[in-house]
Chain A
């Protein structure tokens, strides 16, 4: 509780710590178990692959915010630089906002919108303009 209060006070008085933007991409393959996907996360910062990151992957449904709490999993380093692997256990098919929470080298959160179906996951595109990553 004391730690939480300290963080809160620190937050109210501190200045922005960083401004570099991250980019992320997801490649998910379905497993033999319904709604469980093996995913590869590709992370980059300023166009360069971001290696050595500590990532927790979670998900939320945009149409039912806060109602589905997918258990966040820690991603392991993948085969290539900037790649990470995680298994996502979703509750149902459909559009999910995949949350990549970074603890290091920077603290940040990326939201990637993907439509999950029997074939895997594809990036959601709405309207006439491509979404920014």
Chain B
């Protein structure tokens, strides 16, 4: 594989984490515009852990997931009392707060005569664990897709379990779920924390792939894309968000047919799909049909 293909496949894998994070919240009935904030928390946490304290990436990724889950839990405590558009606005505000905190964050250590660490708007350079440990691009690609495969398997197991049914019921009819004895608020808070951890894992891997992060990486554009991927790909299965990412980055970007106009095409595609297939290409009905036909 050439560098370009490896790069595109790595990006598809990385962005899939945040797309799955948005998907998880959507099927639980909440639309978050703020998952990029937790992606950023994961990126900064893992970057600080490996570049400043020499912690191995696997441990740093776990720390990042913990930080992402904690941040999402704390954001969820007040915001999950809100519904619909108000929740979406509150999550966007929270993500912007995280971005501003990253802009104000100056926390550096002197390593080999160089200051390393977050330097506000100047960004955070020197997240070199991957290079210092001789990980080739193909190796990092395998790491990203290996982690993604593990996450997808977990999703599939949950979707086929009682927990998955509860999750879908929560999204479809929270009042019915409450009447059946489910503590809706507590359940949604748990889902928000897991979604935060998932986004943070993607952020941790992204920081080490890029070696440089800055607050602007985590602005609303990333959040909108993550939601769009879930909505384009479909909400019927965990493969929906992956299909969304594949359509945008794999087909539109990979083919370079539309070049600078890609964002216009992407926006048009989202609008068209929301009209024609409001729950995406792989919606529940299509997934059910596919299962009956091929299972």
Contact = CB atoms under 8 A, between A and B. Distances in A.
Interface of A: 1, 3-8, 10-12, 14-21, 35, 56, 58, 60, 62-69, 71-72, 91-92, 97, 99, 101, 107-109, 111, 113, 126-127, 129, 131-132
Contacts of A10: 133-135, 139
Contacts of A15: 133
A63 B219 contact: yes
Contacts of A92: 260
Contact of A68 (B112, B134, B253): B253
Contacts of A56: 3
Contact of B120 (A5, A35, A127): A127
B134 A107 contact: yes
Interface string B117-143: 001111101101011111110110111
A97 to B, nearest CB: 7
A91 B141 CA distance: 24
Could you say which interface size class chain B belongs to? 35 or more
Contacts, number: 129
B130 A69 contact: no
B232 to A, nearest CB: 14
A12 B58 contact: yes
Nearest to B14: A66
A91 B260 contact: yes
B122 A131 contact: yes
Contacts of A132: 115, 119, 122, 125
B15 A7 contact: no
Contacts of B259: 91
